[in-house]
Chain A
Amino acid sequence: MNKVADLAEETRDGETVVRLSGSLAIACLGELPNRLDALQPPLAAIDLTNVDHMDTIGAWTVHRTARRLQAEIICASDDCRRLIDAVGGLDEPVPIRPDHVHPLRRVVGQIGEAVSNSGATLVGLVGFFGATLVACWSVIRHPSRFRINAVVQRFEVVGVSALGIIGLMSFLIGIVIAQQGSVQLRQFGMEMLTINLVGRLTFRELGVLMTAIMVAGRSGSAFAAQLGTMKLTEEVDAMRTIGVSPMEALVLPRTLAVVVMMPLLAFYASIVAIIGGGFLCAVALEIPPITFVQRLREVVPIHDLWVGLIKAPVFGIIIALSGCFQGLQVKANAEEVGLRTTAAVVQAIFLVIVIDAFFAVFFTWVGWN
């Protein structure tokens, strides 16, 4: 039954007639559409006597050729006639893609959109911060609404489960700083200064910064994806309908958890980084651990620790807010969850570094240097 479709031109009573044969189904069409397209007018008729089977795609090819050349379709079997009439009745152009836009216009449009989006995001984020504070205040006024279980559970997810990876990362970073520092300082014969470098750098900057980046990647992204999915499945709307504020039930526990966990994780990261540095000093520079600790106590002022610990909760707020904010912005589809998650992490890390720069200037200004 599945014979390859074929066509033959012949002349009847001085008029050109095309005779089609075989199976006009998509699998058997082969080159037939192109050959039909190559036909030139005038064409009187398309003869379907020898067509033994047809599907709508075959019917459409016949119909469009007949329409283009204004030819008559003759000798079609009932089945073929029905199909051709069915598709012929649907002959109306349908646009396939959205209208094409000039590239220059598109680029300008995209830049404009990006700028206005960034502005809107910043305003939205500030608004979101405000909303979180309001939620916080209302929970303080009604302590019974405080979701202690949710917060404690987040403590575990954000803090305890991160200990392994943050510890490993910090240990290695401590080693790298000590190693790179010692190579440079050896040129001046001041290898002992490696201890200053490791101690001050990790407490002031790297401990908290690397922790923030890791938490943004682990928890900020998770917040955005969780809330985004909840938004998609209308869980957030359901919550609101029942009278539970999503800000109190979802955002506040997460924010609190990150704000509380960040200083602890940052302190832990700094200590582990220092252990890493001390390890390298002991192995490669032959500085015994006891000397390392003693020297550390002499050269690292206590306010270095405060600098790190003051920055940590602020970074935590930024990470939690951008994660939750982006998650709750999800509207349309699953793809947006991915985009928003990426946005949450990028935004959090970017803002953390910007704020860190401000902190650096501020702490120098107050004399903690």
Chain B
Amino acid sequence: MSEEEIREAEERRVDEAIESGDIAIKVRGLKNSFGNQVVHEGLDLDVRKGEILGVVGGSGTGKSVLMRSIIGLQMPDEGEVCVFGESMVGRSDDEALSIRKRWGVLFQGGALFSTLTVAENVEVPIREYYPNIGAELRDEIAAYKIRMTGLPTEAGPKYPSELSGGMKKRAGLARALALDPDLLFLDEPTAGLDPIGAAAFDEMTRKLQQTLGLTVFLITHDLDTLYSICDRVAVLADKKVTAVGTIDELLATDHPWIQEYFNGPRGRAATAAVAREKDKAGQVPSDGRR
């Protein structure tokens, strides 16, 4: 088959998947640029329902910009973005509302509203979208969301400025989860956390994803996160998604950046850690290439 045919077959397969409701996010031919600087050109990406997709790429490859184009904060120059089968480009805020309710976003610094307490922050989306939910129930919902993200109960009445970095992220996650979204966007959730805190955050993300059946779009630099919780990894390089697949599949490609990324000293350390874990669990490491 020629490359064209392969591409068409892939298109067809994806279209079928969307019809059957298996694809949560579909991005086609995305182009983003700031002035003369082109960040994305002809970028394609599919996120399947119920998976944790890790997005990696060097600094400045536009990981955050990609996320912002999907959630409608950045107007792409060209291309198509579909979330749950609905096109998001060129939609007015009102029209996008029904989709917006179905996702939660955790920004890099937490982006908590600084004049509200943590609990009030969590209540904002509920108050905004479902005013018919009574105050008492709303307080209770905020309470269990806060506990769900592993925050202590004392964190509820605190203001964001009184929280540590890790607690801010958890509080931001609690707000992102306020409406029980189907789709969760995490922008570098473990950046700036200590290894124990980062591992706990990964663990929690995995657990929440399994319990709530979430689809997670996760931007990260953290190799441990990639190995421990991501189902698939998408690599951003050369202005597009160069490769998507499990880590094993990515290792089989010969793209220099991917090789450098996973086989650099840090990548090897993370691989070794995973292999040790698996040995401990009495399994044979699946990765026999190295």
Contact = CB atoms under 8 A, between A and B. Distances in A.
Contacts of A93: 143, 153
A26 B179 contact: yes
B82 interface: no
Interface in A3-55: 25-27, 29-31, 33-34, 37, 55
B257 to A, nearest CB: 31
Contacts of B101: 27
B161 interface: yes
B139 interface: yes
Contacts of A61: 137
A55 B212 CA distance: 7
Contacts of A91: 144
Interface in B77-98: none
Interface in A90-132: 90-99
A286 interface: no
- Tell which of A34, A96, A333 has the most Cβ of chain B within 10 Å: A96
A57 B180 contact: yes
Contacts of A83: 211-212
Nearest to B207: A86
Contacts of A55: 180, 212
Contacts of A96: 117, 119-120, 123, 139, 142-143, 156-157
Interface in A42-95: 55-57, 60-61, 64, 82-83, 86-87, 90-95
A27 B147 CA distance: 22
A54 to B, nearest CB: 10
Interface in B130-186: 130, 132-134, 137, 139-148, 153-157, 160-161, 179-180
Contacts of A56: 144-145, 148, 180, 212
B228 interface: no
Interface in A170-223: none
Nearest to B149: A90
Given A27-B101, A97-B120, A333-B114, A92 B153 contact: yes
B130 A94 contact: no
A335 B144 contact: no
Contacts of B180: 25-26, 55-57
A135 to B, nearest CB: 30
Contacts of B283: none
Contacts of B132: 30-31
Interface residues of A, number: 33
B148 A90 contact: yes
B117 A94 contact: no
A26 B147 CA distance: 19
A30 B131 CA distance: 10
Contacts of B133: 26, 29, 33
A332 interface: yes
Contact of B211 (A34, A57, A82, A94): A82
Contacts of A99: 157
A269 B25 CA distance: 62
Nearest to B138: A96
B114 A335 contact: yes
Given A26-B180, A27-B101, A335-B115, A95 B144 contact: no
Nearest to B177: A56
A25 to B, nearest CB: 7
Contacts of A64: 137, 140
A251 to B, nearest CB: 26
Contacts of B153: 92-95
A140 B134 CA distance: 68
Given A55-B180, A83-B211, A94 B114 contact: no
A94 B119 contact: yes
A98 B146 CA distance: 16
B212 A95 contact: no
Given A34-B134, A96-B142, A98-B117, 8 more contacts: A30-B132, A55-B180, A56-B144, A56-B145, A61-B137, A94-B142, A94-B143, A94-B153
Interface of A: 25-27, 29-31, 33-34, 37, 55-57, 60-61, 64, 82-83, 86-87, 90-99, 332-335
19 contacts: A25-B180, A26-B126, A27-B101, A55-B212, A56-B145, A57-B180, A60-B144, A83-B211, A93-B143, A94-B146, A94-B153, A94-B156, A95-B153, A96-B157, A97-B120, A97-B157, A98-B157, A333-B161, A335-B114
Per CB-CB distance, the 8 closest pairs between chain A and chain B, nearest first, are: A94-B143, A55-B180, A90-B147, A94-B156, A96-B119, A90-B144, A332-B161, A95-B157
